Amino acid sequence: MGTLDVINPRTGQADHTIKPASCEEVAGKAAALREAQPAWEAMGVEGRCGVMARWLGAVKARAADIGEADAHDTGGCHTSYLQGFITMGNIGGWLEDAPKAFAALEYDEMSPSMPSVRVQSQVVAFPLVGVISPWNAPLMLALLDAIPALFAGCAVLLKPSEITPRVIETLFETVREVPELASVFDYVTGAGEVGQAVIGEADTICFTGSVPTGRKVAVACAERLIPCHLELGGKDPCIVTETADLERAATAVLRGAVYATGQVCYSVERVYVHESIHDAFVALLVEKAGDVRLNADDPRAGHIGPFTHGPQADIVAGHIADAVEKGARVLCGGQIEEIGGGRYLRPTVLTGVSHDMAIMQDETFGPTIPVMAYADTEEAVRLANDTNFGLTASVIAGTAEEAEAIGRQLNAGGIFLQDTFLTFAKMRTFGSDSFGWSGHGSPRIGPESLRRFLRRKSLLTQTGEVADIRNDHHLGEGA
Ligand code: NDP
């Protein structure tokens, strides 16, 4: 098989290549991981914590390089430069949480329904977890699943996006410094067919990506009767009420919509504003949007970068064109700019939008902010819930109580009140479920997410006499 060019999002030029793995290579890596996994599981969670602590040290030593590689992949998103530290936080968090999560799964009690029977639990890891990850936040979205799977005692075979493979290569330089870990954690590169080959080898799959690919992954897993956990797209609404502080609302909406060029699954993708403040809110939003700078001159300066995947710009431009054709007005931004070979879009505020437009229905994944007026809370809730997705939603109101009352009516897994973009705050605490097309399977964060990688066995011991079938009587018989 030949090589695949990898494009630099800042220049539009290929500056890297990968060699897609053949089916035989995927099978060979899967077999080697399976062979090493029993020893990894037999170490117990405390033993694995010792190995992962050494890996944490290796990541710490290379944190800056990891950040640079992630920025190279994405085009210089602010979060990219923090990826080394975010990975350290991910490993460090599980070092504390994994032993507690295992302890919470233990059970050793007499059965309430058959009091002479002792019931003990045993958890057994799925031997091989396949992780298939997307191009936005390429490291974080690979490790959100891979790290807890490793702590659970599984081996992990990762298939990162072919569009952003560099940061994974740098990460695995740190993995190879810890041989016990390297024996159970590996990756293969390539496009969709390599993802399919991973599904063909694994015992369970974690997939993050788009809805159409998620469907294909679900079908392939169904054919093999293996579990799959899907984290898919979003069309996340934000409601701004009549009583909201305009300054707070405009600031939160702008950041929530354009951070990382809007290429975040929980970006604000549509805004509903009470009609009485609509014009003032939009004016303030446009004013603030005008201060957002591109990072075209320097990846570390400016607020938003190029599209990580150049063709994504065409999808976003298509949504804007569709909206304009159907009557929307573009108040700022709106034009894809080619600078030095990178493709950029400034924050794009649209008004006059409606739910027959793609920009209000399909995931845009760009720095667009379509704003629609509503008359009363009932209408705002109805519009916010008028979607196939249900990843996150935000409400900004005069008080937290008012925001909460509305938030409780919204169909999404993460509800952000008085701000947007709060997903990070629930790391290590509670996982949440997605609604609609946004996801399927158990939560991927929080201690309970470890459960995705474990099967629980029950060991049932009869401590009393065994039943003698000859003493069984039908009701009314022999009494
Ligand atoms: P895709 O669905 O295109 O790809 C995701 C991964 O699947 C990539 O590694 C891709 O490989 C691989 N793949 C492609 N085809 C197949 C196939 N037939 N079988 C198995 N694997 C396959 O998503 P994107 O990379 O475009 O990522 C953006 C999407 O991810 C957005 O919709 C976004 O909302 C979603 N996302 C969801 C998140 C969540 O937590 N809910 C978080 C972040 C993003 P390759 O790229 O090499 O072709």
Contacts (Cβ under 8 Å, ≥6 apart) of 259 = 78, 267, 304, 421
Instruction: Say what the pLDDT of residue 248 is.
Output: 98
Residue 455 pairs in a beta bridge with 124
Instruction: Say what the pLDDT of residue 1 is.
Output: 64
Q: How confident is the prediction for the chain on average, in pLDDT?
A: 96
Residue 237 pairs in a beta bridge with 270
Closest CA to 229 of 137, 155, 91, 129: 129
Q: Known catalytic residue: 24?
A: no
User: Which domains does the chain carry?
Assistant: 4-232+438-459 (3.40.605.10), 236-424 (3.40.309.10)
Confidence label for 220 from pLDDT (cuts 50, 70 and 90): very high
Ligand 1 pocket member 131 (CB < 6 A): no
pLDDT per residue over 397-409, tens digit each?
Answer: 999 999 999 999 9
Ligand 1 pocket member 196 (CB < 6 A): yes
Closest CA to 414 of 208, 236, 269, 270: 236
pLDDT per residue over 433-446, tens digit each?
Answer: 899 999 988 888 88
Ligand 1 pocket member 21 (CB < 6 A): no
Q: In this prediction, what percent of the chain has a pLDDT beyond 70?
A: 99
The better pLDDT of the pair 76, 39 is held by: 39
Q: Which of 68, 238, 265, 402 is catalytic?
A: 265
Ligand 1 pocket member 202 (CB < 6 A): no
Instruction: Say what the pTM is.
Output: 0.95
**Residue recorded with tokens 């695949």:** 4
Query: Is the pLDDT assigned to residue 479 strictly greater than 90?
Result: no
Instruction: Say what the pLDDT of residue 429 is.
Output: 80
Mean pLDDT of all residues in 220-236: 97
Instruction: Say what the pLDDT of residue 431 is.
Output: 81
Q: Known catalytic residue: 231?
A: yes
Mean pLDDT of all residues in 300-307: 95
Q: How far apart are CA 448 and CA 433, in angstroms?
A: 12
Confidence label for 131 from pLDDT (cuts 50, 70 and 90): very high
Neighbouring C-alpha atoms within 13 Å toward the C-beta of 234: 31
pLDDT per residue over 272-283, tens digit each?
Answer: 999 999 999 999
Instruction: Say what the pLDDT of residue 478 is.
Output: 54
Instruction: Say what the pLDDT of residue 477 is.
Output: 65
Instruction: Say what the pLDDT of residue 476 is.
Output: 65
**Which residue of 135, 143, 228, 314 sits with most ligand 1 atoms within 8 Å of its CB, as the best mutation to test the pocket?**
135
Residue 270 pairs in a beta bridge with 237
Q: How far apart are CA 272 and CA 266, in angstroms?
A: 16
Instruction: Say what the pLDDT of residue 432 is.
Output: 86
